[in-house]
Amino acid sequence: MQENDSNKATVVQPDYSAAIAALKARFAKQLSTNATIREQHGHTMTWLTNQPPDAVLTAYDKHEVAAAVAICNKHKMPVIAFGIGSSLEGQLNAPYGGLCIDMHAMDAILQVHNEDLTVTVQPGVTREQLNHYLRDTGLFFPIDPGANASIGGMVATRASGTNAVRYGTMKDVVLALEVVTASGEIIRTGTRAKKSAAGYDLTRLMIGSEGTLGIVTEVTLKLFGISECIGSGLCHFPSIEEACQAVMLTIQMCLPIARIELLDSLQVKACNRYANLDLLETPTLFVEFHGTEASVREQAESFNEIIREFNGTDFVWDTNEAERKRLWQARHNAYHASSALRPEASALSTDACVPISGLAECVSATAKDIEESGMLGPIVGHVGDGNFHVLLLVDTDNPEEVATADAIISRLAVRAIEMDGTCTGEHGIGQGKQKYMAQEHGNAVAMMQAIKAALDPNNILNPGKIWPQPLSIND
């Protein structure tokens, strides 16, 4: 198991028994210290060591969250909010112990304002639950990370997904938040107005802060109308460079594409095996257009002209819903399909994002790096945003493989940063990517840390995340 500064199983931690007793007195059976439950709330999605919290609280409303945080603050005990546990960089580990607040029971959809295209939800609502709820309104919520993540978790990690190229990321679709601060106060950031120039943008400050500045207890989101016509299809390319070049030209020509996803040959092969498909096993783009029937047709025709320039196969597309769902199911199964290529290994997902002009170069160099390492590592990506993922299939009990994988991830992060991109487009920093913060942000990290220290002086909110060192844990 790999460890870094804030992922050490051996940190000596203070005695939190007084805090736990106070929580027990307040919350009785809602609080659990059962070892299995604690371990389930630690982190398991990477090779990082599972670091369970000392106790797990199931919260049912904002006042319970506020009361629990106030107790933690009084006792200077760490507190970590938990949605469904699908974060990918160790965001949920408890390297200094403390309380995990499980938000899954706060799953009410509080207000839908169809006429304003907004909805207010509790943080435990999942993205699929929300879209299921909206199914008869003609509206939808577009942000779709791979997992059926909770909305609260998606706020915390600034999530995005396949629709981001058209509809933006969490930073673009959140109008307002309700947040429990480190001292246990409840604040509101923003209103339901579409724009405002009234004071600091606390909403955007909270989004992507990974639970280190506050715990989200309500989220007001923008919704979007489901287009009259949706056309989906795919096309294959002789090389990954040509596929990426087609994406670059599509973006540069400002084609209002709704989704444009790359799967490399290995990923297509994995999908074929997993779902018994017969796709051509070359680099492939999955594409979707939203609009009126006429405009979808126009967009598809323009796209076809673009891909021909890069030796793509004819763009085969359809507006039939069943066909579209079948196609995107294959894309959404990418993680499981890849895992099945080597079932005994762990599938470790990393991501990076570069300016679109660097896409072909960055993806090609990464593919070459993986190939030379001898590892299995399919590439999939939200390439319209310059964002892509590598899914490395690693035997985490084999230190040599772990080191090889870690080196590939490092080289990718550095490669992206050197191209004026970022070490993570949508997974976040957590514990796994702390070592790239200084290279990406330079002395701006000190400004982030000053904000953290101001808003959480006892460093109780998810300590040991984003930064390589705890700030001043229980000094």
**Region 187-206 residues binding a copy of itself, contact defined as CB under 8 A:** 187-189, 191-202, 204-205
Quick check: 392 and 347 in contact, CB under 8 A? yes
Token duo for residue 241? 């460079």
The one segment of 271-279, 327-335, 380-388, 393-401 that binds a copy of itself by CB under 8 A: 380-388
Nearest-approach distance from CB 1 to a copy of itself, in angstroms? 24
Type and span of the H or E element at 110: strand 109-113
Check residue 385 for interaction with a copy of itself (CB under 8 A).
yes
Helix (H, G, I), strand (E, B) or coil at 276: coil
Nearest-approach distance from CB 359 to a copy of itself, in angstroms? 10
Token duo for residue 187? 């604040």
Token duo for residue 123? 């943080």
Token duo for residue 341? 């290529």
Size of the site for a copy of itself (CB under 8 A): 89
Check residue 110 for interaction with a copy of itself (CB under 8 A).
no
Check residue 459 for interaction with a copy of itself (CB under 8 A).
no
Binding to a copy of itself (CB under 8 A) within 245-284 occurs at 248, 251-254
Nearest-approach distance from CB 9 to a copy of itself, in angstroms? 25
Helix (H, G, I), strand (E, B) or coil at 384: helix
Could you give the count of Cα atoms lying within 13 Å of 65 in the half-sphere of its Cβ? 30
Check residue 1 for interaction with a copy of itself (CB under 8 A).
no
Of residues 25 and 253, the one with the C-beta less far from a copy of itself: 253
The one segment of 39-47, 237-245, 338-346, 435-443 that binds a copy of itself by CB under 8 A: 435-443
Check residue 119 for interaction with a copy of itself (CB under 8 A).
no
CA gap 442, 334 in Å, rounded? 35
**CB neighbour list of residue 75: distance below 8 Å, 6 or more residues apart:** 16, 18, 19, 22
The one segment of 45-53, 262-270, 392-400, 424-432 that binds a copy of itself by CB under 8 A: 424-432
**CB neighbour list of residue 384: distance below 8 Å, 6 or more residues apart:** 164, 165, 247, 250, 251, 257, 259, 260, 356
Applying CB under 8 A, among 181, 333, 338, 431 the residue interacting with a copy of itself is: 181
Quick check: 261 and 244 in contact, CB under 8 A? no
Of residues 48 and 164, the one with the C-beta less far from a copy of itself: 164
String of contacts with a copy of itself for each residue 4-43, x by CB under 8 A = ----------------------------------------
How would DSSP label each residue in 133-182? HTTTTTEE-----SS--BHHHHHHHT---TTHHHH--HHHHEEEEEEE-T
Binding to a copy of itself (CB under 8 A) within 392-411 occurs at none
CA gap 258, 35 in Å, rounded? 45
Token duo for residue 13? 């931690």
- Return phi, psi of residue 47, to 5°: -85, 0
Type and span of the H or E element at 450: helix 444-455
Applying CB under 8 A, among 118, 232, 459, 462 the residue interacting with a copy of itself is: 118
Check residue 151 for interaction with a copy of itself (CB under 8 A).
no
Check residue 424 for interaction with a copy of itself (CB under 8 A).
yes
Binding to a copy of itself (CB under 8 A) within 303-322 occurs at none
Applying CB under 8 A, among 65, 106, 356, 390 the residue interacting with a copy of itself is: 356
Applying CB under 8 A, among 81, 287, 416, 460 the residue interacting with a copy of itself is: 416
CA gap 413, 351 in Å, rounded? 8
Applying CB under 8 A, among 357, 398, 469, 472 the residue interacting with a copy of itself is: 357
Q: Please list, residue by residue across 406-437, b when 16 or more beta carbons sit within 10 angstroms of its beta carbon and e when fewer do.
A: bebbeebbebbbebebbbbbbbbbbbbbbebb
**CB neighbour list of residue 452: distance below 8 Å, 6 or more residues apart:** 212, 213, 459, 467, 471
Nearest-approach distance from CB 118 to a copy of itself, in angstroms? 7
Nearest-approach distance from CB 243 to a copy of itself, in angstroms? 17
The one segment of 94-102, 329-337, 347-355, 370-378 that binds a copy of itself by CB under 8 A: 347-355
Quick check: 359 and 386 in contact, CB under 8 A? yes
Applying CB under 8 A, among 10, 15, 36, 115 the residue interacting with a copy of itself is: 115
Nearest-approach distance from CB 458 to a copy of itself, in angstroms? 14
